[in-house]
Each structure stands twice: as structure tokens, then as C-alpha cells.
Amino acid sequence: MTTRATPLLLLHTWGGDAGTWAPALRHLGAAGRHSEAPDLPGHGARAAEPFTVDGAVTAALSAAGAAAGATDGAAPPYEDETGSETRDPDKGAGAEGGETYADGARPVDVVGSGLGALVALTLAQRHPGRVRSLTLVGFPPAEGPEAARRPADTLAALERDGTDLFARNYVDSTLLSADPGHRELLRRAMAATRPEVLLGSLRATLDWRSHARAAPLAVPCLVLRGARDHRVAAPAADALAEQLGGVSAVVPGAGHVAYLDEPAAFAAALTDFHGGLRTAPAD
């Protein structure tokens, strides 16, 4: 029996955009696997929009439907005039678990890094029928006094330096990749993000428990951490994986943004995880 590869939904890191996935996509798409990497509200092509977690989940949900529709011919989720997803009243439980939708779109493998991990986790808990598996990268954020000061410190740095210099300093202190092209992808994206979006999305990520729960999920979960991530401690990542009923793994050589630091190793870790999941048979 042949199988069809489950599409990927890729949600970018804080201050990033869809384009930051380009290095990883060269490896993830090598076997012809379809991927959707949307800009979250306030980022990339949607830079003029305000950022909210609800708006980001709606954007991710729409992209999930597009990813499934690209391989199955199914329509993406549709929205009412308020921007909220409209579900068909005859939805029910499907073979993959959780909710299914009348548009026929099958679940996708969702991957989120940093800010994108918050959105991915919230999506999986609100709409498990759209998600076959969940991978959280560079998550959860640090807690404690230093984390509590981070929004104020970020605001002060943005006011002092402006977004261009702030973005350069952030990339220099966070990315470990020696490839200048990888570093430029995140620098340009962050420099083009409005300060209020950087601050609002940072606060949301640090306050992630207000939007999502550290409780067992209805879908398989991987918490993936760069081996050299100085922003997420190994015990915190392992503890979150246990709380979600999932597993944890490490990307060798990578830092906080593993998909830019070590895209090949990052893709290999995803391939290993997804390879152990049940894949729907081809029609």
C-alpha cells in the first residue's frame, strides 16, 4: 500500500516571517512534501496588521486548510465576516481523532518555533481535528525575574536603537548559524516588524499559559530544542514534553532558532518524528 505524505504547516519564530523557513524547506521539501509557511499577523506581508493570538490562530487555521487542500483537493477553512472560522454543523469524529470538517481537509503536521510554537500549541488545543501532530521548537520561554523584565528591556532597546539595530543585535546574540544568508533572513524580517508588534507578540509568548495549557494533547507531540539554546533550558523543554504527553529531542549544534541554525539537522529530526506516525493511505 502506498501512502501520501502529510502536509506541513510551519509557523515562524518571534520577529520572523514566512521567508525564514527557506533554508529548512530545501531539506523538508526534498521528497516533494507540500508545506505552507504563512506570515503571522503583524509580520512579513501582513506587517500592517495588529498581532493577537486569536488572529494568529485564525491565520494558521486557514493555512492548515490550504496545506491539506493542496494535496487532497479539499477547500480551506472558510471564515465569516468577522474573520472567525465557520464550522459545518455536521462535523464529527474522524479516524485521526479530534474534530473533522465538512470541507474534507485532513489534518496536517504543525511545526512552530518560539512565537510560532505558542500559536501552534493553541491551534492544536482549540482545533485538534486540523492537527495530525505537533512540534514545538525553542519552547517554552524562560520564566522568572529576568523574563519578567524582558518586555521593558526590549522596549528600552527599541526606543534607544530603533528596529534596524535592535534586529541586528538580536540576531547576533541569538543565531549560531555561520551562514550570513540565514542571519540576514531573520534580521530583515525583524527590522521590518513594527515595535508594537514585537512587544505585543513577545508579551503573548512569555504569557503563553494564558492562551494554552500544559496538559496532555489529543495528538502526538514533539518538543524540539537546539542543543545550544541559551533561552530554553533542557529541563523546561523535557518537562513540557511530559506535561503534553509527548516526547523531547535535541537538534545538534543548534541554538534557539534551530530551523535557521541547523536546517538539515532540524529537518532530519522532524523526519524521524513524522516517520513514526501513522500516515493516511493513498486513495
pTM over 0.75: yes
Sketch the domain layout of the chain as residue ranges: 9-275
247-251 β-sheet, strand order: 35-36, 8-11, 108-113, 131-137, 221-226, 247-251
Grid coordinates of 273: 518524528
Dihedral angle over CA of 108, 31, 22, 176, nearest 10: 100
Other CB atoms within 10 A of residue 110 CB: 31
What pLDDT is attached to residue 87? 33
Distance CA 49, CA 37 (A): 17
What pLDDT is attached to residue 198? 98
Grid coordinates of 181: 544568508
* CATH match for 9-275 among 3.40.50.1820, 3.30.590.10, 3.40.50.300, 3.40.50.720: 3.40.50.1820
What pLDDT is attached to residue 3? 45
Omega before 281 cis (within 30°)?
no
What pLDDT is attached to residue 68? 85
Local confidence pLDDT in tens for the 283 residues of the chain: 334 689 999 999 999 999 999 999 999 986 678 999 999 999 999 999 999 999 999 999 999 999 887 655 443 332 322 233 333 322 333 333 334 444 456 899 999 999 999 999 999 999 999 999 999 999 999 999 989 999 999 999 999 999 999 999 999 999 999 999 999 999 999 999 999 999 999 999 999 999 999 999 999 999 999 999 999 999 999 999 999 999 999 999 999 999 999 999 999 999 999 999 865 444 4
Q: At what angle do helices 145-174 and 180-191 cross, to 10 degrees?
A: 130
What pLDDT is attached to residue 5? 82
Dihedral angle over CA of 183, 184, 189, 193, nearest 10: 90
Residue 80 CA: distances (Å) to CA of 84, 87, 142: 6, 10, 37
**Listed residue (82, 42, 46, 85) closest to 62, CA to CA:** 85
What pLDDT is attached to residue 110? 98
Contacts of 185 (CB under 8 A, 6+ apart): 16, 19, 20, 22, 23, 260
Amino acid identity for residue 143 in this structure: E
- Residue 77 host element (H or E): none
3-state secondary structure of 213: coil
- The 8-class DSSP code of residue 13 comes to P
Other CB atoms within 10 A of residue 244 CB: 25
